């Protein structure tokens, strides 16, 4: 089965990152991911977080980089943010980041916005290649949340990755989001394996535990394993009850 990581932005949210990582490790996981290092403009304690993970055998799989890909005018700012994100991430032995597209631009054609994403990611791929860094492009659902986001199709995201044409830019398939948009997730994952780099997951509906709702995650994980996927499978869900018990249950579910 794929190695599993936990997005620590969704658990123990009242605690610093380093304390969240400790509790996730104590629940049996040895890999985590987090969002932007500068999220909210506050000191997130990145050095302490990185030190704990390094000393305790916890992999920091990825972070994220902010910015709009759909607006060519924002490209220089995006590339600057990417370079700073890479600098911070490499300081804590993290070598990948998620990138979103930003919201759709009213009055601008879909084709023009998609072209902007491709061109910006080509420039980003050059930076990532030089820095030995990986980017994951994430489509999201627009039916439940977040409304207004541009990229809501895994297939369009896969096409973008193929047109960028770099192994440094891969697709993040969030099972929660993509099931809401189109369902049929196992077959679609199989069709996108050539560009897949990471997964996120949560129960549908509600975005809670994987054993809640209508998705059969053991079967999904078995299929992903059968497709030959070698990356990590991320848990990005908000626990509905006791968080430590929930994580331990999800650990057992994904073994």
The CATH number of the domain where 214 resides is what?
3.20.20.150
Give the tokens for residue 89: 């991430």
- Give the residue numbers spanning the domain of 120: 3-253
| Cα(117)–Cα(121) distance, integer angstroms | 6
Residue 62 has pLDDT above 90, yes or no: yes
Specify the pLDDT at position 2.
95
Mean pLDDT of 224-247: 97
What are the Cα distances from residue 20, in Å, to 43, 64, 194, 223? 15, 18, 33, 30
Percentage of residues of the chain with pLDDT beyond 90: 96
Percentage of residues of the chain with pLDDT beyond 70: 100
| Cα(118)–Cα(84) distance, integer angstroms | 21
Tell me the pLDDT tens digit for each residue of 113-148. 999 999 999 999 999 999 999 999 999 999 998 899
Q: Is 93 left (phi over 0), alpha (psi -120 to 50) or beta?
A: left
> Which of 71, 239, 70 has the alpha carbon at shortest distance from 250?
239
Count how many domains the chain has: 1
Mean pLDDT of 78-88: 97
3-state DSSP of the chain: CCEEEEECCCCCCCCCHHHHHHHHHHCCCCEEECCCCCHHHCCCCHHHHHHHHHHCCCEEEEEEECCCCCCHHHHHHHHHHHHHHHHHHHCCCCCEEEECCCECCCCCCHHHHHHHHHHHHHHHHHHHHHHCCEEEECCCCCCCCCCCECCCCHHHHHHHHHHHCCCCEEEEEEHHHHHHHHCCHHHHHHHCHHHEEEEEECCECCCCCCCCECCCHHHHHHHHHHCCCCCEEEECCCCCCCHHHHHHHHHHHCC
Give the tokens for residue 52: 């704990």
Mean pLDDT of 183-201: 98
């Amino acid at each position: 089965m794929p190695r599993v990581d936990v997005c620590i932005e969704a658990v123990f949210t009242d605690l610093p990152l380093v304390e969240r990582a400790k509790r996730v490790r104590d629940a049996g996981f040895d890999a985590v991911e987090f969002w932007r290092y500068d999220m909210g403009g506050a000191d997130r304690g990145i050095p302490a977080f990185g030190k704990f993970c390094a000393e305790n055998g916890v992999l920091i799989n990825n972070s994220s980089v902010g910015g709009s890909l759909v607006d060519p005018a924002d490209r220089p700012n995006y590339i600057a943010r990417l370079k700073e994100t890479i600098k911070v991430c490499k300081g804590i032995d993290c070598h990948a980041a998620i990138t979103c597209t930003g919201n759709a631009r009213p009055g601008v054609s879909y084709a023009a916005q998609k072209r902007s994403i491709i061109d910006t990611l080509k420039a980003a791929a050059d930076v990532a290649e030089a820095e030995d860094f990986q980017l994951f492009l994430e489509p999201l659902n627009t039916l439940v949340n977040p409304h207004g986001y541009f990229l809501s199709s895994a297939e369009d995201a896969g096409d973008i990755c193929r047109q960028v044409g770099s192994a440094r830019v891969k697709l993040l398939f969030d099972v929660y989001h993509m099931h809401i948009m189109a369902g049929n997730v196992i077959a679609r994952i199989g069709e996108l394996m050539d560009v897949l780099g990471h997964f996120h997951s949560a129960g549908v509906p509600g975005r809670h535990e994987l054993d809640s709702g209508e998705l059969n995650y053991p079967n999904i994980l078995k299929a992903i394993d059968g497709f030959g996927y070698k990356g990590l499978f991320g848990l990005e869900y908000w626990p509905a009850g006791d968080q430590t018990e929930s994580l331990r249950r999800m650990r057992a579910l994904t073994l």
